[in-house]
Amino acid sequence: MAIRPKSPSGRPGVWSRLNSLTRPVDPAASAALARRWSELPDAVKTPGQVLGRFALGCEGTHGVFPKCDFACTPCYHSSDANKVRVDGAHTLEAIEAQMGFLESARGPHAHAQLIGGEVSLLDAEDHAAAIAVMRRHGREPMSFSHGDFDYNYLERVAVARDGTRRFKKLSFAVHIDSTMKGRRGMRRAPDEAALAPYRRAVAEMFARLRREHGVRTFLAHNVTVTPANVDQIPEIIRDAHGLGYGMFSFQPAAYVGDERRWRDDYASLEPDRVWAKIEEGAGTRLSYEVLQVGDTRCNRTAWGFYVGDTWISLLDDTDPRDLAARDALLDHLGGVHFNAPLHLLIPRLGRVALRRPSLVPLAAGWLGRVVRRAGGLRRLMAERPVPVTFVMHRFMHAANVKPAWEMLGRGVMSEDPTILETQERLLACSYAMAHPETGELVPACVQHGVLDPDENAELAQLLPIPRRRSAPSLA
C-alpha cells in the first residue's frame, strides 16, 4: 500500500504517522551510524564492532558541576575542579547546550553520563531537571556518583514534592572502592572487603525506591583499579554480584587529572592482568571480542547474566551459530532505539521480522542455546536470571594524549609507537564529550587530559566558591 505523506488538511495522514512511529530505525540514526562507521580506523572494523553498526557509543557531560567532596587517589579532575561552586542554573544551561549539540551533531539518541564532579552535590531538583533535559534531547542519562547520599536525596530526585513520580526509570553509576577518601562512616577504607556493607546499602536504597515508588533502576558499580586493589577484584565481584548491580565497570588508573593524587606505578596495570582478575571474579572466561566497543585497548565488555553464582555469556564466541546470530543483530537491528516505550519497540521489531523472516528462527535458535547454557528452563524459572555486564575501560595518560591530539589536529599520524597507539584509540573513541562553543566533539581522554585544566580555571573565575565572611567584631 502506498503511504500518503499528507492528509488533505495538510497534516501528516494517519498512515504516514503510523509508518514513521513504527519505522524500525530513524533515518537520522541510520545516517549517524553510517557517519560513525566511516570515521572509524580500518583496524577496528571487525565483525564484532558495535560502533557505527549498532550504536554510536557513549557520551558524557563536562564542566557542569566539577566539584567533588571526596579526595580519591587518583582523581581525573584537574586541581581547580574544587574551586568551582556547584550552581544549578549553570549546570542546566551547560547541559542544555551540550545535549542539544550532541543531538544535532552526533545522533538522535545515545547513552549519556551525567558526570563531571559529584552529582549528588547538585540540589535534588536540579539533578532531576538535568535528567529531564538529557531525556528531552534523546539521551538515556546515567548519573555518576560516589553513592554517599541518603535515601531522602534519591527519593527527591525521583519523586516531586507533590508526590508525583518524575521518572519510571533511573540509571546511576556508583563508584565505591578503596582508592577513595571521604565516605561517611569510613573516611578511608583499608581494603575492598571493608566496603562490602556500603555496596549493599547503596543497592538497598535503589531497591527501596523501586518498592516504594515503582521507579525501576539500572545500577552500575565502578571501581578504579590500582596496583593496591587489583588482586581484590575477584572478591568485589563475588561479594556484590547478587546485590542488584547490572554492571561492574573497572577502570585501571591512568596518569591524568590532579597530579597531587597520583600514587603507585599505574604502568604496571597491564590490561590482560586486570581482565584476568575480572574473569576470576566472574568464575569463567569472558570473551570481549565477540562484541567490541571501539578499540579493545580502550574497552573490553562482556554481556551476560547470572543464574545463582554462575555467569553465562549471551554469546558463545566458539559457536558459529551464535556468531551468525551476532552478525544478524548488528546487520539488521543496528540503530533500533531499544529504550523506546514497549508499545513502539514491539511493532518496530515486528516490522524487522516481517521484512526478514529468516531472523525469527535464528533468534529462536540463539535463545534456545542460551537457555541450555543456563541449565535449562526449569533452573531459569527457579533461580531468577540477573543480567550483569563486565566492563574494563582504560583511560590514557595525559602526557600521551596531549601530543597525540595536537598531531591529529594537524592531520599527522605519529611515528612513535606509543603516540600512534594513542591516536588510533582516540580515533575509535566510544566516549564523546561536546563543545558546542567550538563545534567540536572530543574523546573523554582529551577532555580530562587536555581541556579540563583551562576549563576549570575559567569556571573557577565564573563560579567562585563564596568566601566565608569573618564574624563582626563586638569590641
The reply to whether 60 sits near ligand SF4 by the rule CB under 6 A is no
The reply to whether 215 sits near ligand SF4 by the rule CB under 6 A is no
Judge whether 31 and 403 are in contact, CB under 8 Å.
no
Using CB under 6 A, pick the residue from 87, 394, 404, 450 that binds ligand SF4: 394
Residue closer to ligand SF4 by CB (options 115, 444) is 444
Choose the binding region for ligand SF4 from 48-56, 278-286, 359-367, 425-433 (rule: CB under 6 A).
Answer: 425-433
Task: Report how far apart, in Å, the C-alpha atoms of 213 and of each of 17, 159, 169, 208, 474 are.
Answer: 34, 8, 11, 8, 52
The reply to whether 395 sits near ligand SF4 by the rule CB under 6 A is yes
Judge whether 67 and 79 are in contact, CB under 8 Å.
no
Residue closer to ligand SF4 by CB (options 160, 267) is 267
The reply to whether 48 sits near ligand SF4 by the rule CB under 6 A is no
Residue closer to ligand SF4 by CB (options 153, 262) is 262
The reply to whether 444 sits near ligand SF4 by the rule CB under 6 A is yes
The reply to whether 64 sits near ligand SF4 by the rule CB under 6 A is no
Residue closer to ligand SF4 by CB (options 297, 379) is 297
- Count each helix (H run) and each strand (E run) in the chain, helices first: 16, 13
Which neighbouring-strand residues pair with 188?
A: 181
Residue closer to ligand SF4 by CB (options 33, 433) is 433
Judge whether 390 and 282 are in contact, CB under 8 Å.
yes
The H-or-E segment that residue 139 falls in is: strand 139-145
Judge whether 460 and 117 are in contact, CB under 8 Å.
no
Choose the binding region for ligand SF4 from 107-115, 145-153, 209-217, 388-396 (rule: CB under 6 A).
Answer: 388-396
Residue closer to ligand SF4 by CB (options 215, 247) is 247
Q: What are phi and psi of 145, to 5 degrees?
A: -150, 160
The reply to whether 429 sits near ligand SF4 by the rule CB under 6 A is yes
Using CB under 6 A, pick the residue from 99, 396, 419, 450 that binds ligand SF4: 396
Q: How many whole angstroms separate alpha carbon 78 and alpha carbon 446?
A: 13
The count of chain residues that interact with ligand SF4, using the rule CB under 6 A, is 15
Task: Report how far apart, in Å, the C-alpha atoms of 127 and of each of 94, 145, 154, 208, 456 are.
Answer: 13, 12, 10, 19, 20
Task: Report how far apart, in Å, the C-alpha atoms of 236 and of each of 149, 178, 196, 199, 302 are.
Answer: 21, 11, 8, 9, 17
Residue closer to ligand SF4 by CB (options 209, 426) is 426
- The distance of Cα 141 from the centroid of its chain, to the nearest Å, equals 9
Task: Report how far apart, in Å, the C-alpha atoms of 53 and of each of 269, 327, 329, 444 are.
Answer: 31, 10, 9, 21
CB of 288 to ligand SF4, least distance (A): 14
The reply to whether 430 sits near ligand SF4 by the rule CB under 6 A is yes
The reply to whether 443 sits near ligand SF4 by the rule CB under 6 A is yes
CB of 441 to ligand SF4, least distance (A): 11
Q: Amino acid identity, residue 171? A: S
The reply to whether 431 sits near ligand SF4 by the rule CB under 6 A is yes
CB of 265 to ligand SF4, least distance (A): 19
The reply to whether 110 sits near ligand SF4 by the rule CB under 6 A is no
Among 101, 93, 99, residue whose Cα is nearest residue 112: 99
Residues 286 to 345 in contact with ligand SF4, rule: CB under 6 A: 294, 298-299
Using CB under 6 A, pick the residue from 287, 292, 425, 463 that binds ligand SF4: 425
In the complex, the residues that contact ligand SF4 under the rule CB under 6 A are 294, 298-299, 393-396, 425-426, 429-431, 443-445
